Amino acid sequence: MTHDDLIIQYKLDKKKLHRLFDKIVEFLEDKGVTITYTDLEPIVEPDIYVIDRELKNEDKHHESCISDGMEIYLHSCLEDIGGICGRLYDILHVGCGHLYQWSASDDSHLEFKGDKAWSIGSTYHLHAGEDKLREVWNYESEAGVLALENLKKILRQYKFDKTFSKKMIRFFNDYLKTDLNYITSFYRTGITQNFFDDWQYNSLTLPMINLDFKLHIKRRTNKCIALINVRQSLMVK
């Protein structure tokens, strides 16, 4: 299965997906976030993060999305990172999810906020103990809930039709659950698998969350990676 198969299965309009991406960029830029398109491979050292020999083949390895807390770097070649579906997931998950955690004030209601959230997201958790994996699961879940709530807000704000909105919310919800399972499994075992092998169709809808808190967006000294490099390299066939 590929991202194009998912577009067909969820009956998503590809033109509307591209328009949605543009509106998410506009939404984030209005908050002071910078979106930069670049070749991400020179930015990070892949051997620090990739342990599978097959994935060290540069033809298969592409970072897709990283951030320093204020700027989001997207890999310039759309085909390398799974097309528009992969790009939408990256900017929603990182820009509308994790960036909200990293930028949340201390008095916000989030469990993971500010420096605590950044510390978890910028740490490699391979073979971590079950307590740490549970914390990572909760951290990633909270980012997913934030991203989903922001997605709903963007769909309303930019007046996407109800049919497309409903399909996109279902698709993103399933994508989040699949990604969460994949990341946790990799951290626990160190074994990489095809991302689509355990796609979570019709997964339980994530709970709602209140977005009414102040963001204090700031640039960090190191860039957060959060395993995106391993996940995306297995998606692209």
Separation CA 88–CA 22 (nearest Å): 10
Residue showing tokens 């543009």? 22
Report the number of distinct structural domains present in the chain.
1
Q: Can you name the residues that pair with 37 across neighbouring β-strands?
A: 74
The one-digit pLDDT tens for each residue of the chain (237 residues) are 778 899 999 999 999 999 999 999 999 999 999 999 988 764 344 443 443 434 343 334 457 888 999 999 998 888 877 799 989 999 999 999 999 999 998 889 999 999 999 999 888 788 899 999 999 999 999 999 999 999 999 999 999 999 999 999 999 999 999 999 988 888 898 887 778 888 999 888 888 899 999 999 999 877 775 444 444 433 433
- The model's pTM: 0.86
Separation CA 21–CA 81 (nearest Å): 15
Q: How far is CA 187 from the centre of its chain?
A: 16
69 phi-psi bin (left φ>0, alpha ψ -120 to 50, beta other): left
DSSP letter assigned to residue 93: I
Separation CA 143–CA 148 (nearest Å): 9
**Domain residues for 147?**
3-235
Separation CA 141–CA 174 (nearest Å): 12
